[in-house]
Structure 1
Amino acid sequence: MIIDAHHHLWQPERGYAWLDEPGLEAIRRPFTPGDLTAELNVNGIDATVLVEGGRCHPDEAADLLAWAADTPPIAGVVAWIDIAAPDVAGTVRRYRGLRGGERLVGLRAQVQGEPDPDYLDRADVRRGLAEVAAAGLVFDLVVRADHLPSAARAAGALPQLRFVLDHLGKPRIDDGPAGLDRWRDGFTALAANDNVACKLSGMVTEAGPRWTPEDLAPFVAVALDAFGPDRLMFGSDWPVCLLASDYGGVRRALELALPSLMAAELDAIYAGTATRIYGLADRLGRLR
């Protein structure tokens, strides 16, 4: 089994203002469950986790959860949350009451857009994270590399919360060894917390227009050493990946960037970690 632990669906006219930025023409269009299913069938993907797409509005959750309810391969949804809001628990209850609410497995805030690198140290943010933990959900970290130290502190302060780092914390892969050096210490500090997992996702769009799997390999090696296969998971970041590669190209790039691993280790990266961290076993059983 192969699980894509990170992809998006959206309808731009429903509030995805970030898609108006220059250079995003390739993804400035609707991406539907039908589009997703076609990609999964071509690329041999069995199940997925659908992640909020930067709309930053609670109404998006209704769309994502309804799509999950109607699309069997979507085994889980990570919805958007204002993590600093005073009633995170109330928002979770509302999401769970929506059609498809049983497929809510995690929450995410657009921390990467916060200028303060210590944003995750704020008392209101920590309170919101504690409410996510109490709800039994995962919190996805979409952060810049300079947020990683505060993410490490948050993970250490909240051992009861399962965190998943998206896109390796967005290292500047296009800067080569310099980008690796600026990112590595914060990344390994976060990985030292056992309640954190990491997605091998989003790398091709951080690697520049003429990337190769060899450019990704040093970053993958650090991730493998820091987290181990049992805390790593594959994610396509489709359709954002289309800015740099098609779906199949992303999957092949990871296969080439990974060192030689045993079958059980590959099984963890491509399915086992996502199944365990997001609690997907029951949903996956229905696909068989």
Structure 2
Amino acid sequence: MTVDAHHHVWDLSVRDQEWIAGPELQPLRRNFTLTDLAPEARAAGVDRTVLVQTVTVPEETPEFLALAAAHELVAGVVGWTDLTRPDVADELARLRELPGGRYLKGIRHQVQGEPDPEWLLRPDVRRGLAAVAEAGLVYDLIVLPHQLSACVRAAASLPGLTFVLDHLGKPPVASGAPEAWACDIRALGELPNTVCKVSGLVTEMDPALWGGTTWPLAPLRPYWDTALEAFGPGRLMFGSDWPVCTVAATYAQVSSLVGGLASDLSRDERAQLFETTATRVYDL
């Protein structure tokens, strides 16, 4: 079986998703629910998922925990809380006492939207990250390539916290200039408390390639090879990034694409990528 370590849901009648802007993202301006996801996930052999935050509002995480408690598909939640609040440790404890609180596995903040490339290194943020570690949770990194060097320093300074890099750090697939990204990925991979999600790649590709029934592996191969070399199969995990991926590919196509990239792995290594790494890291 397979674990999908990264997907989202939202209901626009509950709150807007302000990041869904521009004509290329218009297909996402509707509700996406677990009822929509379940048949596609099952068809791809997925039996457990990790539901990941989308917006930085405190109400979303309790809602996601309740969803996890009500749906057997969701085995874990990566939520959000303000890492800079002085009582962040108490807030994490409160979240874990809510209905479904046992499903809280990690915390994420939209660092990619922070103007300060070294936001992760701020003293108030590092204090919050230390509280995440103390709570036994992991921290998901959603960053842009120019923020990766700060990720390396943050992970090095907090060896007791597991950092999970989402979407391979959004590599510059479309522009084809991987050198700086690759250097930082290798540095991050040298740290034993880091893991990387093979997710979000189809939306980093040249839009001219979108919409076909099959996906060319060649544009992604250098980025996959770099991540595999840096982290090894035991620290990589599959994520669909559904429904964001649907602007470029179906759930089945994303699953097939990652399977194609991983075609040279052994059976045990593929099991790590598609199941056991996520199960271990997120304590599913």
Q: Same fold (TM over 0.5)?
A: yes
**Structure 2 Cα separation of the partners of residues 90 and 19 of structure 1:** 32
Gaps (5+ residues) in structure 2?
210-215
**Structure 1 Cα separation of the partners of residues 135 and 230 of structure 2:** 28
* Selected match of 2:273 from 269, 273, 283: 269
Tell me the equivalent position of 1:207.
Answer: 205
Q: Does the CA contact (< 8 Å) of 1:233 and 1:269 recur in 2?
A: yes
Tell me the equivalent position of 1:95.
Answer: 95
Deviations 1:140-177 (CA, angstroms, capped at 9, x unpaired): 0001111111110010100000110000111111112x
Mapping for residues 105-144 of structure 1, pairs under 5 Å? 105-144=105-144
Instruction: Please say if 1:75 is aligned against 2:75.
Output: yes
Q: Does the CA contact (< 8 Å) of 1:217 and 1:258 recur in 2?
A: no
Cα deviation for residue 82 of structure 1 reads 2.0
**Structure 1 Cα separation of the partners of residues 108 and 224 of structure 2:** 23
Q: Does the CA contact (< 8 Å) of 2:262 and 2:270 recur in 1?
A: no
Letter of the structure 1 residue corresponding to residue 42 of structure 2? N
Tell me the equivalent position of 1:237.
Answer: 241
Deviations 1:166-189 (CA, angstroms, capped at 9, x unpaired): 00111111112x1x1131111111
Cα deviation for residue 39 of structure 1 reads 1.3
Question: Structure 1 residues 208 and 12, CA, compared in 2 at 3 Å: closer, same or farther?
Answer: farther
Instruction: Please say if 1:192 is aligned against 2:190.
Output: yes
Cα deviation for residue 114 of structure 1 reads 0.8
Tell me the equivalent position of 1:46.
Answer: 47
Letter of the structure 2 residue corresponding to residue 32 of structure 1? T
Instruction: Please say if 1:58 is aligned against 2:58.
Output: yes
Give the count of matched residue pairs. 277
Deviations 1:20-51 (CA, angstroms, capped at 9, x unpaired): 44321111111111111121122221110000
Letter of the structure 2 residue corresponding to residue 42 of structure 1? A
Letter of the structure 1 residue corresponding to residue 142 of structure 2? V
**Structure 2 Cα separation of the partners of residues 222 and 248 of structure 1:** 24
Cα deviation for residue 258 of structure 1 reads 2.6
Q: Does the CA contact (< 8 Å) of 1:233 and 1:268 recur in 2?
A: yes
Runs of 4+, deviation exceeding 3 Å: none
Letter of the structure 1 residue corresponding to residue 262 of structure 2? L
**Structure 2 Cα separation of the partners of residues 119 and 159 of structure 1:** 18
Instruction: Please say if 1:224 is aligned against 2:228.
Output: yes
SS in 2 for 1:210: helix
Cα deviation for residue 15 of structure 1 reads 3.2
Tell me the equivalent position of 1:161.
Answer: 161
Letter of the structure 1 residue corresponding to residue 206 of structure 2? G
SS in 2 for 1:214: coil
Out of 37-46 and 69-78, give the one that drifted further: 37-46
Cα deviation for residue 69 of structure 1 reads 0.7
Letter of the structure 1 residue corresponding to residue 27 of structure 2? A
CA RMSD for the aligned pairs? 1.2
TM-score (norm. length: structure 2)? 0.95
Cα deviation for residue 259 of structure 1 reads 4.8
Tell me the equivalent position of 1:256.
Answer: 260
**Structure 2 Cα separation of the partners of residues 9 and 90 of structure 1:** 27
Letter of the structure 2 residue corresponding to residue 29 of structure 1? R
**Structure 1 Cα separation of the partners of residues 118 and 269 of structure 2:** 34
**Structure 2 Cα separation of the partners of residues 257 and 276 of structure 1:** 22
Gaps (5+ residues) in structure 1?
281-288
**Structure 2 Cα separation of the partners of residues 21 and 134 of structure 1:** 40
